Structure formats: C-alpha cells, structure tokens
Homo-oligomer: A and B are copies of this chain.
Amino acid sequence: MGSQIKAFVFDVYGTLFDVTAIKKECEELYPGYGEKISQSWRAKQVEYFLLRQLMGNYATLQSITRQALKYVLKEQGLEPDEKNEQQLLEAYLRLPLYPEVADVLSQLKDKKLVVFSNGSHDMLDPLIEHAELQTLFAEVLSIDDVKQFKPAPTSYEYALEKLGIESHEVLFMSSNGWDVSGAKNFGFQTAWINRKNLPVEELDLPPDYIFKDLNGLLKWQ
C-alpha cells in the first residue's frame, strides 16, 4: 500500500501541536484549575464542532473554541472574563509542537506534505508560522473553505478535490480517534498517531497504521 502514497496529510490539533500544553496558561490565570480547564476545554470544543456539523449550524473553530472556553469556565464556577478568554485564545495561536515533529517533517521534505484541519485560517496560519513550518507544507487546507467539519465525509472530499489524486493515494495522519476513523470511513489510508497509548476506537474502522509518534512515518523517507 505504502508505494501508492502521493500525499502525506496531517491533522493539526493534538497531532502536530500539543493542545494540552495550554494548561500552563490556564493554571496561571486560574490557579488550581489548569489541568481541568485545559482537558474540559478541548473535549467541549470537539463536542461543539461535532454538534454544529450534525445540526447544520456552522461556526468557525475560532468562535467555537471561545464558546467552549466560556462554557468550561462557567461549569467550573469561574467568572467568565473577556480579558482572560482573549489571553487563552491567543495562547492557542502559539501552541508548542510535539518534540519530534519538526525533525520528522524535515526528513520527509521530498514528499508532498499537506495540513488539513478543522481550524479556520485565522487560527491555523498564525500557529504554523509561529512554529516556522510554513515552508514544509505544500498546502494548508481548512475545512472553513467548505464549512464541513471532519469527520463528515464532505470534509475529506474537499481535501481530496484540492489534492487532485485518488483517495487511496492519501496517507492521513491524526492522533484523534474520531478523525482517523472518519478518514478511514471516507477511503483514505490512515496512520493513527497514538500519542496517549489508547485503545483503537470501537467503530469498526481500524487504522491502517498505528505509530506512537510521527517517527513511524520515517519508513517512507
């Protein structure tokens, strides 16, 4: 299968960038709550874009991320505060890369590397520039262009059309179970970057490859 790969397509949040690192900023603003806020925030963000996709009620991930944060602060009994919210949303534009990412991507620089994210360009572009990855990627694709969130098949269809290749010629990487399942469901080859050593999702859509981090991709170097 590997020989057919014409594009290496990467999810962003949780796959290239560590969304849990934001607990540091959360902890500074809300001492004692950093871990809880950061975990619940991510979970609520994912829930909200799944729900909006299901309800046919689109909003950008930027807007959803803000709404998820508002909810989580209220849930924890903390006073929503526009200044703190703004500060945390800005921290989302400077999330750190996982340690191996820059090195692995550099070693794969002869391949066609593409980003495909639920993030809107107002979140994605600053993030990728801050990490100095922009020259490594042939394209940065956002579902915002079609307003269809992953894992809806319509979202992967958009990426495929932009790439102009066949679905089985895509190797799609994500650390998110829902994303790697959705990509497999659509027809991509998939590599699950299982950073947290979790079980495979019980969705009858096992990934083609499982790696503990991106170093597993070096077999295609």
Residues of A within 8 A of B (CB): 47-48, 50-57, 59, 67-68, 70-71, 74-75, 151-153, 178, 181-182, 185, 198-199, 201-205
Contacts and interface: CB of A to CB of B under 8 A. Distances in A.
Contacts of A67: 202-203
Nearest to A196: B75
A54 B198 contact: no
Nearest to A71: B202
Given A47-B178, A178-B47, A199 B75 contact: yes
Given A56-B153, A153-B56, A51 B199 contact: no
B202 A51 contact: no
A88 to B, nearest CB: 15
A53 B54 contact: yes
A68 B204 CA distance: 12
B198 A51 contact: no
A50 B75 CA distance: 22
Contact of A71 (B185, B199, B205): B199
